[in-house]
A and B are shown apart, each in its own frame.
Chain A
Amino acid sequence: MADNKRKIIREICQSCGDDPTRLMDIVRAVQMRLRCVDDEAMDLIAKAVNTHRVEVAGVVSFYAFLADQPLGDIVIRLCDDVIDEMAGSKYVAEALRSELGIDFGQTTPDGRFTLAWTPCIGMCDQAPAALVNDVPVTELNSDTARRMIHELREHMRPELLVTRVGDGNNAHPLVQSMVKNNLRHAGPVVFSPVNRGEAIRKALAMTPVEVIRAVKTARLRGCGGAGFPTGMKWEFTRAAAGERKFIIANADEGEPGTFKDRVILTERSDRLFAGMTIAGYAIGASEGILYLRAEYAYLRRYLEEVLAARRAENLLGRAICGRPGFNFDIRIQMGAGAYICGEETALINSCEGRRGEPRNRPPFPAQHGYLGGPTAVNNVETLCCVTKVLEVGPGTFSELGTGVSGSAGTKCLSISGDCRAPGIYEVPYGTTLRSVLDMAGGSEAAAVQVGGPSGKMIAPAEYDRRICFDDLATGGSVMVFSRRRDLLHVVSRFLDFFIEESCGYCTPCRVGNVLLKERVDRIRHRRGNTTDLDYLRELADTVKLTSRCGLGQTSPNPVLATLEKFPHAYTVLMPPNGNGALAPFDLEAATGDARAVVHRERQHSTAVEENRNG
């Protein structure tokens, strides 16, 4: 057995050229074959790729999908985001617990099943959803969850759970997934039909500088949320010194409530790959990487086939479209469960086989990125827009929006939560939130979270605000909350997410989010007082201002937004005599540890409570 393990690891490392920068692929493969990357495996890998053991341990312990203890043959990861919870994930969880006889975070004694929670898997439009190994299982309820376990016990093959495939390419032989696209409104840019090769040929008729100028003239800005002008990013990357340059497509969409990349990758991967190729031509790169989040592993084989088809048509590879000297190819880099890797410098670290921690800037990736080379990291949607710019020309492209200044083209919104038709809506920039809600059947909303937990919480009085870079800039997540929802519960869950996903590199994000959550929960449990509101504001202010990357710079937003726009959600929970008074002393909590030690069950505190109530 030990020899066998040695052999497997040896083979895996060799297949990756014993290259330490391919560590992500190596540990993922070892995890898949051996169900974990244990102490011995870490030693063997470190030796094979000539790195330090603790570097391997650092990587394995960073990513949620990797483990140093054996996981079950089948790992069920139930999505724990707030939208899934609203759709009943707790009933699914209960069914899974009782069927398997284990709790979340545990593996059955026979080693067959592991149960785990996981942050948003990009299926909020068909929640509650889970990943069974790589297979997404959607629209679960307690009955289907029980049936799923019964079936799995019989065949132990997650792919057999798919009895009805979804629409479009979800039915492709290499996908065969039950996932539905829920593409409710296809716009004229991202989801318009693609004519394979057209945009690349048009680009090759121009010089690289002209291509960059076209992207600038089209006023294309990054669609991941930050809105940096794409042409400018390319110009910097093109101008930077370096032999090897790189273009990376960021398909690590992990912002809860976002699932647009899932549908783009399923239905318009040709548009994405064309955009990457054009970017490669423009900046002078011959290597492209698609960083694909682990949650979308079910699309990998299909995407590899699309890449192969493009190679066969000379749209990738050497002398593309017969242009001597223009060589460009794309590889897929799988992630392993880390939201932070959506941050471009963390993503680059991950591509290099490191812990997905953001880097200090400067230097920026345009100067010093992947393997030290100038690198442009673009969002999947942005690269799809590039293809459109080349197809129709920058003038036509910039007129596709509704004419709001500074925002050209369309935006793909992922709408979920309390609405009748959750799904993807590609709308022109400048569309009001109200009309978006009308389209999705969510006009009764009491609050809307635009841009995911790190974005903005919007109150009904603001529904006439517009989706665009100068007003409601968003990566695309739109979560709808009805009057029935407890907004402070939502805030608390969002903070759970940030605590879970913080890389822990910097103090304010690592500690501050825990402290924010503690105080929000204290208020939720009616133990807060009015001084806690200033406490939260000040703490949130420091976390936002001093955190090192976008995660901590935005994680307090749900707290600040609710304090500003929904103050009643807090004050209604304050004790009546709470003005300036200290929070009521929680005797039970304070004596909990001591009581556990002496095996005394709540006798004293119960008596006190009875006293108080009586």
Chain B
Amino acid sequence: MADGMTITIDDRTISAQPGQTVLEAAQAAGIYIPRLCHREGLTPGGACRVCVVLVNGRPQSACTLPVTPGMVVENDSPRMHEHRKRIIEMLFVEGNHFCMFCEKSGNCELQALAYRFGIAAPRYPYQFPRRSVDASHPDIFIDHNRCVLCARCIRASRDLDGKNVFQFVGRGVHKRVGVNARARLVDTDADVSDAAVEACPVGAILKKRVGYAVPVGMRLYDHAPIGADIEAEAKA
């Protein structure tokens, strides 16, 4: 630990390595900073804002901010909890998320975050946007109703698959994930084995013909909340 440093997260002093982000350093120390658009192996995006922490009093996305010696991070405080809850609720009302018949239910990171934060129903009015689906591809299904615009598919396709199948089009409320063709996924070189397909945190990009293969009760977040694996590291 020649190059190590210490930082403080919610009154806990932890060690960190140069080049780590706040989120990575916290995770290595068994502290879970909630996140949605972040995924290991992808360039951090800082888009969903669920991981925003206060660093020396200033809001920063933990997934993009490199650690510096002595930084003081506020993560799991009542006020940050409340901000995150509101952001998660915003994501729920922005799209059309019907967990009860979504194939991703139980494996969905958005749903799992809602459970972790105790969100029974969002306080904000549902926007009920009209969004499209793309079932053109023989093996992959895209349902924009469930998309949270996290850009994980975009980054995975670009950085891991080397394909650039996806990119954002439009802006603001009209922003959506576009495909590298005039309209349909089938006209791209997307493949069901692409990292981009795995990268989707919600039910927006799904594989065909394997729906509901894992029964309810045996899914990723059925027994322990999202982040519990990271926190278990600390106790072990």
Contacts and interface: CB of A to CB of B under 8 A. Distances in A.
B170 A61 contact: yes
Contacts of A547: 49
B66 interface: yes
Contacts of B167: 52, 54-55, 57-58
Interface string A546-563: 111000000000000000
A394 interface: no
A507 to B, nearest CB: 5
A546 B83 contact: yes
B90 A62 contact: no
Interface string A502-535: 1111111011101100100000000000000001
Nearest to A522: B125
B169 A57 contact: yes
B171 A507 contact: no
A501 B86 CA distance: 22
Interface in A533-547: 535, 538-539, 541-542, 545-547
Given A54-B178, A61-B171, A507 B47 contact: yes
A12 B66 CA distance: 42
Given A54-B164, A542-B86, A546-B59, A510 B149 contact: yes
A511 B122 CA distance: 13
Given A514-B127, A515-B124, A508 B169 contact: no
Size class of the B contact interface (CB-based, 8 Å): 35 or more
A39 B148 CA distance: 26
B74 to A, nearest CB: 11
Contact of A504 (B52, B83, B171, B180): B171
Contacts of B48: 506-507
Contacts of B180: 52-54
B172 A503 contact: yes
A169 B115 CA distance: 63
A9 interface: no
B84 to A, nearest CB: 8
B155 to A, nearest CB: 12
Size class of the A contact interface (CB-based, 8 Å): 35 or more
A54 B166 contact: yes
Of B66, B94, B125, B171, most buried by chain A (CB within 10 Å of CB) is B171
A349 to B, nearest CB: 12
Contact of A548 (B49, B164, B165): B49
Contacts of A499: 172-173
A355 B169 CA distance: 9
Nearest to A541: B83
B46 interface: yes
A105 interface: no
Interface in B172-202: 172-175, 178-182
Contacts of A355: 168, 171
Contacts of A52: 164, 167, 180
Interface in B74-96: 82-83, 86-87, 90-91, 93-94
A500 interface: yes
A508 B167 CA distance: 21
Contacts of A506: 46-49
B61 interface: yes
A208 B150 CA distance: 44
B169 A504 contact: no
Contacts of B82: 538, 542
Given A360-B46, A504-B168, A545-B52, 8 more contacts: A43-B182, A52-B180, A53-B180, A61-B171, A355-B171, A502-B173, A503-B172, A546-B49
8 contacts: A55-B164, A57-B169, A58-B169, A507-B91, A515-B93, A515-B124, A546-B59, A548-B49
Interface of B: 44-50, 52, 59, 61, 64-66, 82-83, 86-87, 90-91, 93-94, 123-125, 127, 148-149, 164-175, 178-182
Closest 7 CB pairs of A and B: A504-B175, A511-B90, A54-B180, A54-B167, A61-B169, A52-B164, A502-B172
Interface of A: 39, 43, 52-55, 57-58, 61-62, 338, 355, 360, 362, 499-508, 510-512, 514-515, 518, 535, 538-539, 541-542, 545-548
